[in-house]
Every structure is written in C-alpha cells, then in structure tokens.
C-alpha cells in the first residue's frame, strides 16, 4: 500500500456522509399519537390512519431501559 494522506478526499467524505445519512434513516420507529400504531420504516412516513401526528425515533437512540 502506498503512503497517502490520512485526510479523506472530498469525494470520500461525501460518500461517508451519505452512508451515515442512509444509516440514520434505515430504522426509524414510528408511533402514531392518534391510533397508537407503531411501526418501523426506513423513511419518515405518515400513519396509515392519515395522521401526521407521528413520533419518530431512530432505533439507535433507544434508551437502555
């Protein structure tokens, strides 16, 4: 392997940021405050009951208890 700078190139940084963004949106727990439905989706969704009063929690943000 040849010696290179430890710094990422702008393209590598962009790819990395995109991967992080994707990871953040992979598992989002949705909780509808109207019908109490809970589901997991990869993007922010409105509830199938039509409510937009939906709480969204990224799964990696779950508290320990």
Q: How far is the CB of 31 from Zn ion (least distance, A)?
A: 9
* Residue 35 within binding range of Zn ion, rule CB under 5 A: yes
Tokens 């709480």 belong to which residue? 55
Q: How many CB atoms lie within 10 A of CB 25?
A: 13
Residue 19 or 48 having the CB closest to Zn ion: 48
**Residue 34 gets which letter from DSSP?**
T
Residue 21 or 44 having the CB closest to Zn ion: 44
Tokens 């940021």 belong to which residue? 17
List contacts with Zn ion (CB under 5 A).
32, 34-35, 37, 47, 49, 51
């Amino acid at each position: 392997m040849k010696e290179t700078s430890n710094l990422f190139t702008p393209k590598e940084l962009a790819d990395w940021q995109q991967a992080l963004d994707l990871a953040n949106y992979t598992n989002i727990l949705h909780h509808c405050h109207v019908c109490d439905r809970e589901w997991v989706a990869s993007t922010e969704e409105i509830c199938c009951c039509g409510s937009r009063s939906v709480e969204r929690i990224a799964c990696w943000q779950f508290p320990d208890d």
